[in-house]
Structure 1
Amino acid sequence: MTEHDYEPIPGLPGLLPPGERIVWQGAPDWRVLARYAYHTRAVTAYFGVLGAWAVIAAVARGIRGPGDLSGVALTAMFGIIAVGLLRALAWGAARTSLYTLTNRRVVLRIGVAFPKCINLPLAMIGTVGLAVNPDQSGDIPLALTGERRLGFLALWPHARPWHVAAAQPMLRALPDAAHVASLIARTCLEVQPSGQVTQPVSPAAPANGFGQAVAA
């Protein structure tokens, strides 16, 4: 039993008001979240380099017994622990996250230790971005208009990297990111008819190379 079991509608803080309907719901893929938000591949590579260096050092000293490889064993152990912890964090973050798009707002239910629901009315979404990874998963940052400001740390890992001063909430690690970005963009257009939809710069942009899906 978790606090989310008491939600009247999964992912939402309360019942929908009259006239509002759910268009889409989804959650991060924890494996993709681990890879691109928690950088497990980079951490694995880092400890791999340390392990290789320890092996080279042991060979240079001359291996006389198992004790001479203790540095290699320790490096491997710490690497396994570090990657395991990061994967566990990613699994927890994905398990407690649910993104909801309605015909009036985007709702991010996020937070492992301190769950929260962040309501983003479609009228205050200025730009819907899109970054597609090589495996076709991707991230969707939402640039907000108006004076409302969100804290980067309160959002992370559901925040666009390197945008700390003007934090942008981001739907992360979605297997069907391109489809969802298009869906959000077109739903925003129903509220902001003056906006326009454009295609991303490239169909497979790197994780931090965001194309533009819609601009109001």
Structure 2
Amino acid sequence: MPHDDFEIEPVPGLPELPPEGEKILWQGKPDWWALAKESLNLYWVMGYFVLLGAWRSLALSEIMPVPQAIWGAVPFLIMGLLACGLLAFIAFLQAWATVYTITNRRVAMRVGAALNVTLNLPYTGIASADLDLRKRGHGTIALELMDQGQKLSYLSLWPHVRPWKMNPTQPALRCIKDAQNVATILGDAAQKQVALNTATETPMPDAVPAE
């Protein structure tokens, strides 16, 4: 029988219902095509096989007619198409299985196509959020955590991490649409929650008896 691993989620992307007072402000997924280009380097792989094919044709052109030499590049182009198709499929699966959630209290990331992981990041534990805005409005928001000793596996979270930032690993909302607006939502929610926690934790001054 077919089984959906996400059927048990009371809210898509969250392992349990949000506690009282917590509101979902935004939910989204990576754009799979942008994910394929940026995290899986689709264009670089495509270019690599095109260069191999061109090199093969040039090498063969010295010993056979040019039309036949051009045909010598076909196997490399076919391998390139297969490799790029596989990368695009992986990116599609990653995007399909991912849900990013921003609430008024935290950022939650349900990631992983094969091994599902849900990461909860309260605003009080986030030091900063850096936006890498790309063309057409999509971009990546990387989260720097306050607890630098917190061990997050780069490989387990990839590609939902800041590229090449391994020590410490920075979880990231990768290749999301309308990234500027999402960053604004996240920033406003974080400021409000941190201000609320600060006000709550500030001790009241001791009462001074009247003279």
TM-score bracket, shorter-length normalisation: 0.7 to 0.9
Aligned partners of 1:44 and 1:159: how far apart in 2?
24
The SS at the match of 1:61 is coil
Q: Deviations over 1:133-163 (max 9, x none)?
A: 1232100000000242211111100000111
Pick from 161, 164, 173: which aligns with 1:162? 164
Deviation by residue 1:55-102 (Cα, 9 ceiling, x = unmatched)? 111212213885x65641210111011101100000000000000011
One-letter identity of the residue aligned with 2:191? L
Q: 2:47 aligns with which of 31, 38, 45?
A: 45
Cα separation, 2, equivalents of 1:71 and 1:34: 28
Task: Tell me the CA shift for residue 103 of structure 1.
Answer: 0.9
Structure 1 runs not aligned, ≥5 long:
195-216
Task: Give the length in aligned residue pairs.
Answer: 193
One-letter amino acid of the structure 2 residue matched with residue 131 of structure 1 = D
Given that residues 140 and 179 in structure 2 are in contact (C-alpha distance below 8 angstroms), is that contact kept between their aligned partners in structure 1? Answer: yes
Residues 49 and 65 (structure 1), Cα distance of their counterparts in 2 relative to 1, 3 Å cut: closer
**RMSD of the TM alignment (CA)?**
1.7
Q: Indicate the structure (1 or 2) with the bigger Cα radius of gyration.
A: 2
Which residue matches 1:138? 139
Query: Is 1:111 equivalent to 2:112 in the alignment?
Result: yes
State how far apart, in whole Å, the 1-side matches of 2:119 and 2:145 are: 13
1:100-123 Cα distance to aligned partner (Å, 9 max, x none): 011111000001111111000111
Asked whether the equivalents of residues 57 and 71 of structure 2 are also in contact (C-alpha less than 8 Å), the reply is: no
Structure 1 partner of 2:4:
2
Counterpart residue number, 1:56: 58
Distance in 2 between the 1:49 and 1:65 partners?
18
